[in-house]
């Protein structure tokens, strides 16, 4: 069964309009296990029912939306009326500007990402054109779009052959790091501590990163627990090995460096093995000519 798009509209770049569809980038398959709330006495599932104080429980198709304009008085707003309020601009991803790929800090990402694809043959060429231009310019687009009846700020960027759209938090919704800096106490690290820390980081540095090797271990263990309990078995936890008690920072750094494979004799000695990025070799400077100090002539006579 083909995936169902979450949104349809236009990607608008000035006077260029590209019909697009948006698909959620996250998958529901293999997600977290959801536990239900039960009554402890009889194990019956707790239900959350929508009720009316006059008529009791109410079915979902009997519920409408309303705005309380005065105490106890409401005006009914029909979804069809809301749809009429939307203009063509509201149904578009309106690109405001283009910025460098690293211009926006990831702290503003809300965690919701969509894949945009052309909606129909007419959108194929302009979509590919915008995608290629963004790739060659190394930039991303900042745009606004109405999703779930709210105007969202989004960023668009080329991702493989697609254009991805990530919903952003507005600046007012994000707490800035400066708000918590007063909790930091000024400290100084010794050159040896810094060197050991860099050695530890370098030993754990990989040239390439494959996120597929990471799995939700907790969900796997929870699944095993549920299966064992369904089968009437008792899940026995494996004994946890005791971690060495190290209270000194220098000792902890040395032990960590040794644990990841750096020889003990080299831990904390000499220069770091390598750097994250190769530095450019310095151009050899020609030795400066010695300036001869003029000798003062001795006055005779």
146 and 90 in contact (C-beta within 8 Å)? yes
In the structure, what pLDDT confidence band is assigned to residue 47 with cuts at 50, 70 and 90? confident
- Residue 164 predicted with pLDDT over 60: yes
With CA atoms as reference, report the closest residue to 275 among 208, 199, 210.
199
| H or E element that contains 122 | none
The mean-pLDDT minimum among 98-102, 243-247, 253-257 falls in 243-247
224 alpha-carbon distance from chain centroid: 29
Better-scored residue on pLDDT, 296 or 159: 159
185 and 243 in contact (C-beta within 8 Å)? no
Q: What percent of the chain has pLDDT over 70?
A: 79
Cα–Cα distance measured from residue 87 to residue 73, given in angstroms and rounded to the nearest whole number: 29
With CA atoms as reference, report the closest residue to 204 among 214, 193, 212, 196.
196
Query: CATH fold of 7-26+84-173, please?
Result: Ku70; Chain: A; Domain 2 (2.40.290)
Better-scored residue on pLDDT, 288 or 251: 251
Cα–Cα distance measured from residue 100 to residue 92, given in angstroms and rounded to the nearest whole number: 23
What is the average pLDDT across 241-251? 70
In the structure, what pLDDT confidence band is assigned to residue 29 with cuts at 50, 70 and 90? low
Q: Is the dihedral of CA 68, 73, 78, 84 positive or negative?
A: negative
Write down the mean pLDDT value for the chain: 81
Instruction: Find all residues with CB under 8 Å of 3, minimum gap 6, and list them.
Output: 23
Q: Is the dihedral of CA 65, 167, 90, 18 positive or negative?
A: negative
Better-scored residue on pLDDT, 225 or 267: 225
Better-scored residue on pLDDT, 252 or 16: 16
What local confidence, expressed as pLDDT, does residue 279 receive? 36
Q: What is the pTM of this model?
A: 0.65
Better-scored residue on pLDDT, 45 or 260: 45
What is the average pLDDT across 75-104? 83
Cα–Cα distance measured from residue 166 to residue 113, given in angstroms and rounded to the nearest whole number: 4
| Cβ atoms within 10 Å, residue 285 | 6
Better-scored residue on pLDDT, 99 or 294: 99
What local confidence, expressed as pLDDT, does residue 242 receive? 65
DSSP states of 18-44: EEEEEEESS-STT-PPPPPPB-TTT-P
Instruction: Find all residues with CB under 8 Å of 117, minimum gap 6, and list them.
Output: 20, 21, 23, 127, 162
- Residue 162 predicted with pLDDT over 60: yes
The encoded tokens of residue 160 equal 């493989």
């Amino acid at each position: 069964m083909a995936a169902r798009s979450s949104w349809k509209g236009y990607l608008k770049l000035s006077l260029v309009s590209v019909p697009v569809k948006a698909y959620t980038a996250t998958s529901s398959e293999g997600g977290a296990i959801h536990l239900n709330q039960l009554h402890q006495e009889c194990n019956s599932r707790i239900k959350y029912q929508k009720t009316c104080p006059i008529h009791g429980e109410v079915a979902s198709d009997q519920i409408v939306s309303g705005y309380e304009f005065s105490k106890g008085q409401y005006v009914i707003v029909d979804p069809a009326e809301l749809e009429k309020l939307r203009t063509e601009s509201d149904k578009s991803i309106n690109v405001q500007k283009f910025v460098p790929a690293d211009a926006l800090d990831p702290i503003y990402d809300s965690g919701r990402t969509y894949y945009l694809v052309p909606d129909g043959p007419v959108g194929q060429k302009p979509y590919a054109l915008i995608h290629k231009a963004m790739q060659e310019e190394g930039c991303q687009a900042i745009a606004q779009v109405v999703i779930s009846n709210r105007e969202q700020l989004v960023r668009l960027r080329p991702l493989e052959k697609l254009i991805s759209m990530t919903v952003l938090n507005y600046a007012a919704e994000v707490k800035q790091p400066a708000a918590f800096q007063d909790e930091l106490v000024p400290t100084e690290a010794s050159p040896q501590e810094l060197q050991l820390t860099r050695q530890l980081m370098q030993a754990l540095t990989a040239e390439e990163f494959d996120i597929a090797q990471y799995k939700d271990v907790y969900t796997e263990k929870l699944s095993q627990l549920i299966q064992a309990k369904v089968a009437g078995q008792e899940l026995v936890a494996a004994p946890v090995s005791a971690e060495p008690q190290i209270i000194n920072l220098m000792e902890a750094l040395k032990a960590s460096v040794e644990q990841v494979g750096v020889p003990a004799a080299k831990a904390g000695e000499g220069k770091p093995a390598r750097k994250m990025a190769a530095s450019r070799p310095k151009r050899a400077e020609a030795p400066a000519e010695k300036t001869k100090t003029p000798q003062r002539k001795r006055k005779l006579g």
